[in-house]
């Protein structure tokens, strides 16, 4: 009789992890996820996307637990069609975004700002990058003239889009100001994301693990880039795709193959083989 894995929660990033570099799902990943969930394992996705943007990827696999959305600002249950938990940006954070938008308009006029709610985005200063993101994510969105045109309550994530040079200037401005109770992260060379302080994918994952009654030692996550850093630092078994930067490899306890070859399957096969449990007992992970 096959061993079952109800005591494990495994969470995967999407692009460059679940999907290959061509944004396609390797069959090896699909087969491993199905086997793991058929054997009682808990599997889901963690993404910076809205729930509607994430749903296509979620439905392509046999995920069986709520997803971590908006980089950890929310936990969304696709079966119940409801947000189970959320972490919203407070007044101090909202004032910071207003400050960047208004006071630095001349310096940062090439910065687009997107304010994300549960499943809707308000865009201030629409440019090429924000338009591309909305098109790619198929996100419900609206263009507004000012931050003041956006509702005050319910901000879950903010994205600043611009060229790398301008974003570097924005980073320097942020470093000189009092931290606005916010968590900042770079998700690409063209984007800087802002969440409420102490909010990231890892927080959402551990909230979900608590709901499921799963111990931290049996919570695994796999990612491939710096926006996965906090997630990998938080879970019991951090894993990375083979092509991840060397600094990501250094904080991971399991190193999988390149995403093109099915890195999620590598991690799941390691768990299903029983080696992960053996390594936990031996204090290797």
- Which tokens hold the place of 9? 């929660």
Residue 219: enclosing H or E segment and its boundaries? strand 219-223
Residue 35: its pLDDT value, please? 98
pLDDT digits (tens, 9 = 90+) for 128-161: 889 999 998 999 999 998 899 999 999 999 999 9
Query: Is the pLDDT at 13 greater than 90, yes or no?
Result: yes
Residue 2: its pLDDT value, please? 72
Task: Taking residues 19-37, report their average pLDDT.
Answer: 97
Q: State the alpha helices, DSSP H only, in the chain.
A: 27-38, 51-59, 91-103, 128-137, 164-176, 201-212, 229-234, 246-250, 263-272, 275-281
Query: Is the pLDDT at 98 greater than 60, yes or no?
Result: yes
Q: In this structure, which topology does domain 91-196 adopt according to CATH?
A: 3.30.1240
Distance CA 241, CA 230 (A): 16
Task: Taking residues 82-96, report their average pLDDT.
Answer: 96
More confident call, 87 vs 127: 87
Asked whether 263 and 256 are in contact (CB, 8 A), the reply is: yes
- Which tokens hold the place of 125? 């200063």
Choose the weakest-confidence range: 46-50, 93-97, 173-177.
173-177
Q: 9-86+200-281: CATH homologous superfamily?
A: HAD superfamily/HAD-like (3.40.50.1000)
Asked whether 78 and 66 are in contact (CB, 8 A), the reply is: yes
Residue 104: pLDDT band (50, 70, 90) is: low
Distance CA 203, CA 173 (A): 27
The domain limits of the chain are 9-86+200-281, 91-196
Choose the weakest-confidence range: 38-42, 100-104, 176-180.
100-104
Q: In the chain, helix, strand, coil percent, each to 5?
A: 40, 25, 40
């Amino acid at each position: 009789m096959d061993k079952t894995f109800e005591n494990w929660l495994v969470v995967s990033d999407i692009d460059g992890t679940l999907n290959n570099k061509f944004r396609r799902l390797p069959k090896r990943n699909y087969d491993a996820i199905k086997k793991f969930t058929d054997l009682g394992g808990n599997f889901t996705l963690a993404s910076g996307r809205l729930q509607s943007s994430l749903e296509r990827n979620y439905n392509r696999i046999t995920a069986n637990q709520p997803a971590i959305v908006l980089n950890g600002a929310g936990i969304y249950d696709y079966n119940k069609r409801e947000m189970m938990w959320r972490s919203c940006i407070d007044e101090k954070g909202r004032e910071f975004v207003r400050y960047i938008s208004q006071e630095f308009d001349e310096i940062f006029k090439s910065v687009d700002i997107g304010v994300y709610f549960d499943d809707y985005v308000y865009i201030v200063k629409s440019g090429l990058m924000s338009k591309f993101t909305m098109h790619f994510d198929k996100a419900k969105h609206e263009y507004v003239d000012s931050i003041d045109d956006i509702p005050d309550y319910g901000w879950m994530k903010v994205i600043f889009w611009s060229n790398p040079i301008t974003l570097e200037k924005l980073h320097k401005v942020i470093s000189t100001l009092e931290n606005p109770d916010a968590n900042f992260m770079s998700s690409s060379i063209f984007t800087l994301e802002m969440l409420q302080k102490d909010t990231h994918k890892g927080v959402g994952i551990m909230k979900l693990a608590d709901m499921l009654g799963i111990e931290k030692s049996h919570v695994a996550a796999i990612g491939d880039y710096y926006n996965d850093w906090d997630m990998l630092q938080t879970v019991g078994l951090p894993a990375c795709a083979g092509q991840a930067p060397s600094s990501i490899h250094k904080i991971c306890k399991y190193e999988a193959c390149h995403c093109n070859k099915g890195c999620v399957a590598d991690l799941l096969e390691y768990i299903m083989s029983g080696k992960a449990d053996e390594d936990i007992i031996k204090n290797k992970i």
